[in-house]
Amino acid sequence: MNKLNKHGIAVTAGLLLFTLITLYPIYWLIVNAFGLNAGGQSIVSVAAQNFENVFHVMGYSYLNSLIIAGTATVISVIICSMSAYAFARIEFRGRIALFDALVLPYLLPTVLLIIPLYVIFKTIGIINTFLPLILLYQLLMGPVNVWIGTDFLKSIPKEIEESALIDGCGWLDVFLRITLPLMVPALATMTVLTFIASWNEFILATTFLNRASLYTFTKAIFIFSAVNARGSIDWGFVSAASILGLTPLVIFLLILRKYLISGLAKGAVKA
């Protein structure tokens, strides 16, 4: 019994330490953004100044990121859900080899592909538009989404869909009315992962968007981090921008949280 108690205490202590290490950067952001470390100054005035500077200098970048990440997420979930259905339900030649080939985009570092991709996109005239990022973000999370959807569909009995086909439904009706509602947990996971990855991406956004009005928030933070008169980094500005950058992700997760939990529970019961 003593050994069990000691083991429990050690595990708890380890988890608390891990939690503190994880939360400390967020604590640091809050302290700097709201001026909690600025002695003799009003917290309200310091915080208002920091967030006002962010909105004035790079407020447009949040809208750009929302447009890019939202569009990329919608397209990825639609395409990957249909692809997952094909891999899980349709027998066709080369299915296994094609499914295994989904790992290929992850075998080469992104840096090696940037120059040829830049030349291609410049040739067709879509540099400094959102289109290159929306297309490339499909490769960023597409294979993972297909894997998630395929594995989830394999856990759903085929008899549910076969009975609908016998009743006269076509494949499209079966997919839209039966399969997709059963895929809610997988679809929610695809949505969350794709949106977070697209929202936080930096290298591709820095390469293909060189016009200030098109900057995503990750590039805007990098470009406009030195905003004070001395040209040094204004950590209050950077912290306020980072908090604003985290806010859409937190809201997004809070909105989908109940769908994730209820969807996973329903999916587990139905599977």
Between the two ends of the chain, the Cα-to-Cα distance in Å is 39
Output the pLDDT for position 267: 41
Q: What is the SS3 assignment for 255?
A: helix
* Domain layout of the chain by residue ranges: 1-33, 44-270
pTM equals 0.83
Structure token digits, residue 222: 């990098």
pLDDT tens across the length of the chain (271 residues): 455 576 678 888 888 999 899 889 888 888 888 877 655 566 777 788 888 888 888 888 989 999 999 999 999 999 999 999 888 888 888 888 888 888 887 777 778 888 899 999 999 999 999 999 999 999 888 888 898 888 888 888 887 777 877 777 777 888 888 888 888 888 888 888 899 999 999 999 999 998 888 999 999 888 887 555 556 777 888 888 888 888 888 887 888 776 666 544 444 444 3
The CATH homologous superfamily to which domain 44-270 belongs is MetI-like (1.10.3720.10)
Taking the mean position of all CA atoms in its chain, how far away is CA 220? 18
Output the pLDDT for position 135: 92
| Closest of 87, 60, 99 to residue 213, by C-alpha | 60
Structure token digits, residue 184: 């809610």
Q: Is the dihedral of CA 183, 80, 110, 237 positive or negative?
A: negative
Contact 107, 170 (CB under 8 A): no
